[in-house]
Amino acid sequence: MEIVLNGMKFGIVLAFLVGPVFFTIIQTSIERGFLKGALVSIGVSISDMLYVAICYLGLFQFLNDPKFRTNMAYMGGAILILFGSYHLLVKSRKAHFITVKTATETSSFKYFLKGFIINGVSPMVIIFWIGTLSVATVDMGYTRGLELFIFFAALLCTVLATDLLKAFLADKLRLLITHRFLVIMNVIVGICLIIFGARLLLTASTVLQAIH
């Protein structure tokens, strides 16, 4: 249950990242209806699952090596702090409603594909998931396959659930998305990511001291 709650907690932070995916879900739902917005959300979720699998399969054989975990913790902590700083110092100043061109296709599969591609083409996505894997393995101590599966399943289900909620409440959310709202969201998300990153760096220092 603790693993599930930790996954949900991190998923909630991720759900409030305001970017192209956020606006695409909102606008698609407003212009094409909830079901089309839900398909975009599912496409995004499948893309995230793929990236998580790539990160895990590429690194799992090293996760029990203390030195590798320490290096990964430093890298992951730096990634999260940089992401957090970007949201706190850059995006919060430039926050504004970005108009994203909504898909005009009638094929439902193309809406799914749109969500998959918009989320998947950003190189920052896989870097972010490496940072998240670092938090799960080093800071939270989840090194076994089942633990990581439960953590990421809870995280990804939380993100998908919030994306579907965004699609359902699209009209109301559109009225809330003001400059002030975006500034507040970017500040909150930035602070949370910096805290996660700082904790990870502290954990890495502790592990490094234990090794020596």
The Cα–Cα gap between 130 and 111 comes to 27
Instruction: Determine the pLDDT at residue 103.
Output: 44
Instruction: Determine the pLDDT at residue 42.
Output: 95
Instruction: Determine the pLDDT at residue 86.
Output: 78
Instruction: Determine the pLDDT at residue 63.
Output: 64
The pTM score is 0.73
Q: Which domain holds residue 207?
A: 2-211
Q: Which residues of the chain have pLDDT under 70?
A: 18, 60-61, 63-64, 91-106, 122-123, 206-212
**Strand extents, DSSP E, the chain:** none
Instruction: Determine the pLDDT at residue 102.
Output: 44
Query: In 3D, which of 77, 92, 122, 119 has the Cα closest to residue 190?
Result: 92
Neighbours of 18 (CB within 10 A): 18
Instruction: Determine the pLDDT at residue 18.
Output: 64
Total number of domains in the chain: 1
